[in-house]
Amino acid sequence: MDAVDILKQPVESLVGIGVQIAKRLNKIGIFSCHDLLFHLPVRYEDRTRLHALGALEEGLSVLVGGSIIVTDIIVRRRSMLVCRISDGTGFLTLRFFHFSAQQQQQLIIGKQLSCFGEVRMGFDGLEMVHPEYRVARDPTILIEPCLTPIYPLTEGVSQSLLRKALKQILPFCEGSNLLLQEWLPVVVRKNFMLPTLAASLKTLHAPNPAVASVSMRTRVLPEFRRLAAEELLAHHFARIQARNKARLATAPVFSDHTEMSMAFTQALGFSLTSAQQRVIKEITDDCMNESPMMRLIQGDVGCGKTIVSAFAALGAVSSGYQVGIMAPTELLAEQHFSNFKQWFEPYDIQVDFLSGKIKGQRRIANLTAIKGGDSQIIIGTHALFQTSVEFNRLGLVIIDEQHRFGVNQRLVLKNKGQVGDLKPHQLMMSATPIPRTLAMLRYSDLDISVIDELPPGRKAVITRALPAQKRAQIIARIMDWVSHRKQAYWVCTLIEESDILQCEAAEKTLATLITLLPGIKIGLVHGRLKTADKMQIMADFKQHKIDLLVATTVIEVGVDVPNAGLMVIENSERLGLSQLHQLRGRVGRGKDESFCLLMYQSPLSRVARERLTILRETNDGFLLAEKDLELRGAGDVLGTRQTGEMAFKVADLSLHQDLIDQVPAMAEMINKEAPEVIQPIIDRWFSALVHYVEV
Ligand code: ADP
Ligand code: MG
């Protein structure tokens, strides 16, 4: 095969990879040999030397050799094959829970074995369970010249298959290969101490023992960091590019609506905080410009983002444009719907609702009103961007709890309902305060407005952690609380994601609470209720027809009932910091002191204990986000689990924090020294993914 072109070839062209295997590799994004080269090992195993049996340590994965001195079938609950080997310095037990008749014949006294496996403490001394082994006179038979890379696998693809495939590619891994051209300028590599691309790939796949023995984990190696740095740069540049491109488009220019805004403000019943006023001004200015707004409002739970978005909507509507508002849950969408109706209907502005649960005639009527332009503000879930929904004059898109949506979902909504060539303005809101470095990376295509002030009179939520044994006390507390004309939440959590189980648990809790709290009006809300029922219950709760609302975590985002100032969270040890903070954000919205009682099942794990302690100590979302990052890793903090967004091939957002910090400086250096490499860097990392970034 041609040396230059091999990296472009599909993986099928390698010896040992047929159509079936190729299909499996395709599933994890590996199509070409080039892709395979960027599939990096997560760690190494050291098979470069034999360890003496007398000097083994628990926990190490090692290569050993010895002859079989005992072999036996032991029958406990099921039978297992157990051998004992010796090399003159010590002994080791080998245990096989599954074994064939052939193995039984093979593993007999006197045979010489080479084994690789993890050393564990067993019933009678150190042992290996199901080691990899070879029966051979030569004890060095399993010895490898390099450390053995361990790759992330997919079903039906083995380590040895990947290793064999990579061995065929590595000889072509040279800087002279066009696909591996070095794009990082020398100054950047020098300044940030990054090795070259080709050398890095080579070393990572076939490390020389001296290099890698420093760490068996690959991610911290300079070679790995070098690749991570380039990938982060690619993301950074791609987002900046997308932003510049998006801004080239033309957006509707909203007209001056100061008078209307003033009337609207008057009707509110509270005055806006200065942070809210500042952000409203930023948005108004953006939308009076013909370049599309792409703005994110960041602000802790309860800071009052919704009303700010209502002002943005006012701008659009008074200029004759429609507004699409998208929320991640039905419950939140419904709540926005009732708020917006209350705010806008006095001005004869038509507010409509659309979710997947709205079907039949009503759906058709809604779609017609949206298409015809009668609907001016349309609030809904992701059902808003189904292809059947056509807008008439969409001028503004508002996305609440933006971190819950994938980038590609944003893309779809933005591309619809354009008026001629006009692109709607976009306003996103997020209550997940993410650490600044991550925000930079994730949101470098957006302008960010921060609401760093809570409405006046808010008091920090007093948070307590209580073991489940204190349930009776908690119940008494609720009784007392409700007798003071105040309302409360009881949140049921389950580790299972399953909706059905969550709802069952909530229903059970409801039944118990009804018997324990006679005379108290208790309601239940969960994800499987019909839309109308859910709306009714939330409305009842808001109007204080219900004292205690039993709920699943569906109330996590957005729900706002200021008179409800007590929240009990069952099994709080199962939830992450951010989720607990979001839940807790449902209380502390009124003027009175409010409480969050975190019930837990003892004993608590170390991490769970730490989480609950942090929550008790602070109400500051930013601080919590930093802690969350330390405890859980970046993927969870960003919510990428749900959305599959920001899927980095190489970079690890928690381990490579320092690199993330350096990205802007690197980017600036590249901009100055070698702007021509920007596009190639993006292409190298994004060719297949680029449509995700063009938001
Ligand atoms: P979030 O930022 O978490 O989405 P919301 O928009 O739901 O917060 O607002 C929380 C509560 O605070 C709502 O009841 C809202 O009406 C109220 N609120 C918003 N701004 C103010 C303000 N300036 N003064 C008093 N209450 C406010
Ligand atoms: Mg909100």
Same domain, yes or no: 295 and 426: yes
State the number of CA atoms in the 13 A half-sphere of 59 facing the CB.
0
Q: Is residue 407 part of a domain?
A: yes
Q: In a 3-state reduction of DSSP, which class is residue 70?
A: strand
Window from 159-163, 259-263, 404-408, 571-575 with minimum mean pLDDT: 404-408
Domain boundary among 118, 142, 166: 142
Q: In a 3-state reduction of DSSP, which class is residue 484?
A: coil
Share of the chain above pLDDT 70, in %: 89
Mutate which of 301, 305, 306 to test ligand 1's pocket (most atoms within 8 Å of Cβ)?
Answer: 306
Q: What atom of ligand 1 comes closest to residue 451's alpha carbon? A: 2
* Cα(519)–Cα(456) distance, integer angstroms: 35
Is residue 590 in contact with ligand 1, taking CB distance under 6 Å? Answer: no
Beta-carbon count within 10 A of 518 CB: 7
The stretch 352-377 carries a mean pLDDT of: 90
Nearest CA to ligand 1 atom 20: 304
Question: 629 pLDDT exceeds 70?
Answer: no
91 versus 688: which is more confidently predicted?
91
The stretch 114-141 carries a mean pLDDT of: 91
Q: Give distance in angstroms: CA of 376 to centre of ligand 1.
A: 23
Q: Which pLDDT score is estimated for 611? A: 87
Q: Which pLDDT score is estimated for 628? A: 73
Please give the structure tokens belonging to residue 39: 């599939």
* Cα(274)–Cα(308) distance, integer angstroms: 12
User: How distant, in Å, are the alpha carbons of 144, 288, 314, 396, 588 from that of 256?
Assistant: 74, 8, 11, 16, 36
Same domain, yes or no: 263 and 335: yes
Same domain, yes or no: 124 and 179: no
Which neighbouring-strand residues pair with 419?
A: 422
The stretch 617-639 carries a mean pLDDT of: 67
Find the largest Cα–Cα distance for the chain. 96
Is residue 306 in contact with ligand 1, taking CB distance under 6 Å? Answer: yes
User: How distant, in Å, are the alpha carbons of 25, 222, 276, 282 from that of 621?
Assistant: 40, 34, 18, 23
Please report the sign of the dihedral spanned by the C-alpha atoms of residue 181, residue 15, residue 47, residue 154.
Answer: positive
Q: What atom of ligand 1 comes closest to residue 562's alpha carbon? A: 14
Give me the DSSP letters along 333-383.
HHHHHHHHHHHHGGGT--EEEE-TT--HHHHHHHHHHHHHT--SEEEESGG
Per the structure, the count of domains in the chain is 4
The stretch 662-685 carries a mean pLDDT of: 93
- What does residue 93 show for φ and ψ, rounded to 5 degrees? -95, 140
Domain boundary among 142, 157, 185: 142
Same domain, yes or no: 91 and 195: no
Same domain, yes or no: 187 and 335: no
Same domain, yes or no: 316 and 434: yes
Q: Is residue 479 part of a domain?
A: yes
The stretch 631-646 carries a mean pLDDT of: 45
- Across the chain, mean pLDDT equals 86
User: How distant, in Å, are the alpha carbons of 285, 372, 378 from that of 393?
Assistant: 20, 9, 12
Question: 395 pLDDT exceeds 90?
Answer: yes
Which residue carries 């006023």 as its tokens?
A: 277
Is residue 270 in contact with ligand 1, taking CB distance under 6 Å? Answer: yes
Q: Which pLDDT score is estimated for 638? A: 46
Q: Which pLDDT score is estimated for 415? A: 56
Which neighbouring-strand residues pair with 65?
A: 114
Q: Which pLDDT score is estimated for 418? A: 59
Question: 674 pLDDT exceeds 70?
Answer: yes
Q: Is residue 514 part of a domain?
A: yes
Question: 687 pLDDT exceeds 70?
Answer: no
Q: Is residue 18 part of a domain?
A: yes
Please give the structure tokens belonging to residue 415: 């591309």
Nearest CA to ligand 1 atom 23: 272
Specify the CATH number for the domain of residue 328: 3.40.50.300
Q: Is residue 658 part of a domain?
A: no
Tens-digit pLDDT profile for residues 157-216 = 888 899 999 999 999 888 888 889 999 999 999 999 999 999 999 999 998 766 545 457
Share of the chain above pLDDT 90, in %: 51
Same domain, yes or no: 612 and 517: yes
Q: Give distance in angstroms: CA of 572 to centre of ligand 1.
A: 26
Q: Which pLDDT score is estimated for 650? A: 87
Q: Which pLDDT score is estimated for 557? A: 67
Which neighbouring-strand residues pair with 126?
A: 121
* Cα(622)–Cα(620) distance, integer angstroms: 6
Please give the structure tokens belonging to residue 523: 């309601």
Q: Which pLDDT score is estimated for 111? A: 95
User: How distant, in Å, are the alpha carbons of 4, 77, 443, 470, 670 from that of 493?
Assistant: 56, 37, 31, 18, 49
Same domain, yes or no: 483 and 432: no
Same domain, yes or no: 325 and 416: yes
Which residue carries 């970034």 as its tokens?
A: 693
Q: Is residue 628 part of a domain?
A: no
H or E element in which residue 692 lies: helix 690-693
* Cα(461)–Cα(586) distance, integer angstroms: 10
* Cα(107)–Cα(80) distance, integer angstroms: 13
Specify the CATH number for the domain of residue 108: 2.40.50.140
Beta-carbon count within 10 A of 462 CB: 16
Nearest CA to ligand 1 atom 4: 305
Q: Which pLDDT score is estimated for 313? A: 98
| Residue type, position 474, single letter | I
Nearest CA to ligand 1 atom 19: 304
User: How distant, in Å, are the alpha carbons of 14, 285, 500, 559 from that of 282?
Assistant: 56, 5, 43, 26
Res. 407 pLDDT band, cuts 50 70 90: low
Q: Give distance in angstroms: CA of 339 to centre of ligand 2.
A: 12
Domain boundary among 142, 174, 206: 142
Same domain, yes or no: 190 and 128: no
Phi-psi region of 302 (alpha: psi -120 to 50; beta: other; left: phi over 0): left
Q: Is residue 666 part of a domain?
A: no
Q: Is residue 562 part of a domain?
A: yes
Q: Which pLDDT score is estimated for 371? A: 92
* Cα(265)–Cα(272) distance, integer angstroms: 8
Query: In the 8-state DSSP scheme, what is residue 419?
Result: B
Q: Which pLDDT score is estimated for 692? A: 32
**Predicted TM-score of the model (pTM):** 0.68
Please report the sign of the dihedral spanned by the C-alpha atoms of residue 247, residue 248, residue 252, residue 256.
Answer: positive
* Cα(566)–Cα(466) distance, integer angstroms: 14
The stretch 539-564 carries a mean pLDDT of: 87
Question: 329 pLDDT exceeds 50?
Answer: yes
Domain of residue 409 covers 258-451
Q: Which pLDDT score is estimated for 436? A: 61
Same domain, yes or no: 38 and 70: no
Question: 533 pLDDT exceeds 50?
Answer: yes
Q: In a 3-state reduction of DSSP, which class is residue 433?
A: coil
